[in-house]
């Protein structure tokens, strides 16, 4: 076959393919809003008809016999029909897979978590998996939002109760002092001072939490000796421990140092100690430990609270959450908290880019609160 013949064949085939392709593009634009299965069928039809028209045109130019031309026509027609049917079937499958993804999107809007599609092309499966992951993340966010809203409602209720009770007591003691009906005024004054200190602590915690939640908590990091920090916290909590007949112990690695905000870290340790003392029965032991953990420093406080359930472990750091007060009734002048101390701990630790967690101790039947801070 000469070069001229080959050139003629190429030109005829290209002309037929271009003509059919332009018609297919025009139809694709006209049907652009139709279902994707028609787009698949149109693409397959355009490709097949382009080669079909080219083959027939070249066959006529080559002056094939009527028998050969009939054979070529039949074969080309059957191949074109099969290709179009296959394209329609694939388009229908794509439509069904996309319908599954639409159902996932509807579930996403309704807040339902569904499984990702296990069939379909790789790209659609990946999109489906991303939708399923987004559904799970949104469900977790909704759960956290509901829990936060519940915590806020509980906080308002508990704080109202915790303020109403001491205010009523302060009013009664003040009236008794005014009327001169008190035989031991100093005792009443000490009670008033204790209630005022308790409410002042509650207000400080609320103010600290408002700064944490608003993202305006300012830290002033500096080198801090962990041993000094723990000693000061134990000294401050010792009177409360003695009143409850709870023993305090501490063990810190010598020379252990951390760069952190001294006031914030001191508050973290103090709150954990007070919480441990409050929930440890008489004759119990509360221990605080500090050690290096790789590139971080771990502070842990162990108590004898009797252990926490899985639900309590999940909620223990929630704003305003308190365990059953009847389990550890107040002793003497030691009041209950308002459920703010551990929330403050979590906020300050996270502001230091650290982590706080709690776990049950099977050996002692208590809990251990652990704070991990970058050194």
Read off the pLDDT of residues 275-331 as tens digits, 9 standing for 90 and up. Answer: 899 888 888 899 999 999 888 999 999 998 888 888 888 888 876 666 654 433 444
Determine the pLDDT at residue 334. 46
Q: Is 11 exposed, middle or buried (0-12, 13-18, 19+ CB in 10 A)?
A: exposed
Please, which pLDDT band fits residue 112 given cuts at 50, 70 and 90?
low
Mean pLDDT of 230-235: 90
Tens of pLDDT, residue by residue over 162-192, are 677 778 888 888 888 888 877 778 888 888 8
Look over the chain and give the mean of its residue pLDDT values, rounded to a whole number. 78
Q: Which of 228, 345, 222, 233 is nearest to 287 (CA)?
A: 233
- Structure pTM? 0.55
Indicate the range of 132-146, 223-237, 252-266, 270-284 predicted with least confidence.
132-146
Determine the pLDDT at residue 332. 42
Dmax (CA) of the chain = 132
Residue 51 near residue 72 (C-beta atoms within 8 A): no
| Of 103-107, 174-178, 254-258, 335-339, highest mean pLDDT | 254-258
* Count of C-beta atoms within a 10 Å radius of residue 344: 21
Residue 202 near residue 340 (C-beta atoms within 8 A): yes
Mean pLDDT of 328-335: 44
């Amino acid at each position: 076959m000469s070069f001229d013949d080959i050139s003629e064949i190429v030109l005829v085939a290209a002309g037929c393919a271009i003509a059919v392709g332009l018609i297919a593009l025009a139809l694709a634009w006209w049907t652009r809003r139709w279902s994707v299965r028609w787009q698949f069928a149109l693409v397959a039809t355009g490709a097949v008809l382009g080669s079909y028209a080219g083959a027939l045109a070249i066959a006529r130019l080559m002056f094939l016999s009527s028998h050969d031309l009939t054979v070529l026509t039949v074969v080309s027609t059957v191949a074109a029909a099969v290709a179009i049917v296959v394209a329609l079937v694939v388009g229908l499958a794509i439509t069904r897979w996309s319908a599954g993804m639409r159902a996932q999107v509807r579930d996403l809007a309704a807040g339902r978590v569904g499984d990702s599609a296990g069939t379909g092309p790789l790209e659609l499966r990946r999109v489906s998996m991303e939708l399923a992951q987004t559904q799970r993340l949104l469900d977790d966010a909704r759960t956290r939002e509901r829990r936060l809203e519940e915590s806020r409602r509980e906080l308002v209720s508990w704080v109202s109760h915790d303020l109403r009770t001491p205010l009523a007591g302060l009013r009664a003691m003040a009236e008794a002092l005014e009327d001169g009906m008190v035989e031991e005024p100093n005792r009443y004054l000490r009670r008033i001072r204790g209630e005022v200190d308790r409410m002042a602590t509650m207000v400080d915690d609320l103010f600290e939490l408002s700064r944490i939640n608003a993202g305006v908590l300012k830290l002033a990091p500096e080198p801090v000796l962990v041993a000094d920090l723990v000693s000061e916290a134990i000294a401050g909590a010792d009177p409360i421990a003695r009143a409850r007949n709870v023993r305090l112990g501490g063990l810190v690695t010598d020379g252990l140092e951390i760069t952190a905000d001294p006031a914030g870290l001191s508050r973290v340790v103090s709150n954990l100690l007070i919480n441990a003392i409050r929930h440890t029965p008489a004759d119990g032991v509360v221990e605080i430990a500090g050690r290096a953990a790789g590139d971080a420093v771990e502070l842990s406080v162990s108590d004898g609270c009797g252990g926490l359930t899985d639900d309590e472990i999940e909620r223990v750091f929630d704003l305003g959450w308190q365990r059953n007060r009847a389990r550890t009734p107040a002793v003497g002048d030691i009041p209950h908290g308002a459920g703010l101390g551990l929330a403050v701990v979590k906020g300050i630790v996270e502001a230091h880019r650290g982590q706080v967690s709690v776990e049950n101790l099977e050996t002692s039947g208590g809990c251990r609160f652990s704070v991990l801070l970058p050194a």
